[in-house]
Copies of this chain bind each other. A is one copy, B any other.
Amino acid sequence: MNHQIQSIAELDRIIHEPGRLMIITLLYSVDQADFLYLQYETGMNKGTLSSHISRLEQAEYIHVEKTFRGKVPQTLLRLTRMGRKSFERYRKNLREAL
């Protein structure tokens, strides 16, 4: 198995999914974002976004904090150190694949 192919085979599937890749890419640059912002930026519907967030949280790639903006509930998200590391490794693999 050549090196390029090896890199593809090792891609982190949790991150590789485009919906989640968008979320992580956004969080990587802003370091904190809320649900509605992500929904707007990614164009995903709530259901899909909600389930990707759960998946990322369960993988411990993001941290979810439920709070309030005045009286309105707000879900804040940020990458964990592990999420950040995994994303960097993912990008490295991808660059090697291309």
Contacts and interface: CB of A to CB of B under 8 A. Distances in A.
A11 interface: yes
Copies in the complex: 2
Contacts of A25: 4-5, 8, 97
Interface residues of A, number: 23
B41 A22 contact: no
A56 to B, nearest CB: 15
User: What is the interface of chain A mostly: helix, strand, loop, or mixed?
Assistant: helix
A72 interface: no
Interface of A: 1-2, 4-5, 8-9, 11, 13, 16, 18, 21-22, 25-26, 40-43, 91, 94-95, 97-98
Identify the 6 closest CB pairs spanning chains A and B, nearest first.
A8-B22, A5-B22, A8-B21, A8-B18, A11-B18, A91-B98
